[in-house]
Amino acid sequence: MARHRQTAQHAMPENVIFEFSPVGNAMKVCAVDARSGLEVSIVRPVTAGEEALRRTAVSKLRDMLNKKRPKPLDRRGVVA
């Protein structure tokens, strides 16, 4: 059986925050890049499984990061 290697293109961005929200018989997954603050969301059937949902959300996040190249968040504010 062939093993797949994780390349830089397929590697998960380092600081990603996931939020899973059930919507009827589907699951909405939001993925946020903590460095830039860019957020993407997907909606897929619950039966897809958590790992597949994460991979799909990360793929979309990676595509958007490559497309937009957002500036890092300004961290000089006060944390309450």
Is residue 20 included in any domain, yes or no? Answer: yes
Residue 24 counted as domain residue = yes
Determine, yes or no, domain membership for 11: no
Q: What is the pTM of this model?
A: 0.69
Residue 54 lies inside a defined structural domain of this protein: yes
63 located within any domain: yes
Structural domains counted in the chain: 1
Q: Which domain holds residue 50?
A: 16-68
Within a domain: residue 48?
yes
Alpha helices, DSSP H, located in 13-68: 50-68
- For residue 68, the model assigns a pLDDT of 73
Query: How far is residue 70's CA from residue 40's CA, in Å, rounded to a whole number?
Result: 13
Residue 61 domain-assigned? yes
∠ Cα 17 22 24 (to 5°): 155
The pLDDT averaged over each successive group of 10 residues in the chain (80 residues) is 43 82 96 92 95 96 82 63
